[in-house]
Amino acid sequence: MDHALALMEMVRDYGRVRLSVAARLLGVSGSTAHRLMAMLVYRGYAVQDASRRYVPGPALGVAPAGVPWTAGLRHRAAPHLEMLAGRVGETANLMVRAGTEVRFLISVEGGHELPVGSRQGVALPAARASGGKALLAALAPGDVERLYRQHAELVGSPFDAREHVGLAIELEAVRARGVALNDEITEQGIGAVGTAVRDGSGAAVAGLTVSVPRDRFRAVLDDGLVAELLRSRAELETDLRGFVAADW
């Protein structure tokens, strides 16, 4: 069941998935990956396109997080997350924005005896998650407002102008300091700090975050967590100089 759910998340978050890649990431044989994917197709969670890759089906009900560049981003980012988690001893995450949500592509648990568990595959509101706020802050204020007005129209709810003013003020603070904080906003007992990662063209393509249990969040911040996060962002962006998401 876990493999089937993980495969569903790949289809949702990568946009296009080849069976060979899915089998490698799941750590299963090609025949097992084929059987799992066949069931997703049967249930309408995936369909095969003209290139014989698998894309989200009508039963999934969500757009892919980024179409095929997310798989390449994940591959390049994984070693940097492992190094970040090793340096700070806490859980490092990479997420991408899909509309007003963020989707966690990778989570690497740190070496602390009680780390925050993996969030891989989880979707959260971008306005509440630290990485989501960092990605929203990379947009112009007018673009953020249009995004949320369009979302309100799509779901058939009124646009909350007062709530959006609060978000706009918070995003200005994120732009000023370069990082965003989440202090138990998305999950009780969990704090996080995040920043936006840019590709070779300068476009903000992902949020890099570190999640920490609330009881040691402030202590870890005081111990240089932000500096380590920004160091890892710089190292990852150096590795992404030849990577342009819009070219995929």
H/E stretch holding 125: strand 123-125
Does the pLDDT at position 162 exceed 70? Answer: yes
106/216 Cα distance (integer angstroms): 23
Mean pLDDT, to the nearest integer, of 150-157?
80
Does the pLDDT at position 84 exceed 80? Answer: yes
Instruction: Output the pTM of the full model.
Output: 0.77
Does the pLDDT at position 67 exceed 60? Answer: no
Closest Cα partner for 204 from 170, 242, 237, 238?
A: 237
The radius of gyration of the chain from alpha carbons, rounded to an integer in Å, stands at 18
Q: pLDDT-based confidence at 195, cuts 50/70/90?
A: very high
Under DSSP, is residue 188 helix (H, G, I), strand (E, B) or coil?
coil
Q: Are 15 and 55 contacting, i.e. CB atoms less than 8 angstroms apart?
A: yes
Q: Are 73 and 105 contacting, i.e. CB atoms less than 8 angstroms apart?
A: yes
Q: How does pLDDT run across 200-239, given as a tens digit for each residue?
A: 999 999 999 999 999 999 999 999 999 999 999 999 999 9
Closest Cα partner for 204 from 122, 143, 120, 117?
A: 143
Under DSSP, is residue 95 helix (H, G, I), strand (E, B) or coil?
strand
206/199 Cα distance (integer angstroms): 9
Under DSSP, is residue 29 helix (H, G, I), strand (E, B) or coil?
coil
Give residues with Cβ within 8 angstroms of 98, minimum separation 6. Answer: 62, 63, 64, 65, 66, 123
Q: What is the mean pLDDT of the chain?
A: 89
Report the pLDDT value the prediction gives residue 48, as an integer from 0 to 100: 79
6/26 Cα distance (integer angstroms): 8
Does the pLDDT at position 58 exceed 70? Answer: no
Q: 230: which 2 tokens?
A: 């920004």
H/E stretch holding 154: helix 141-155
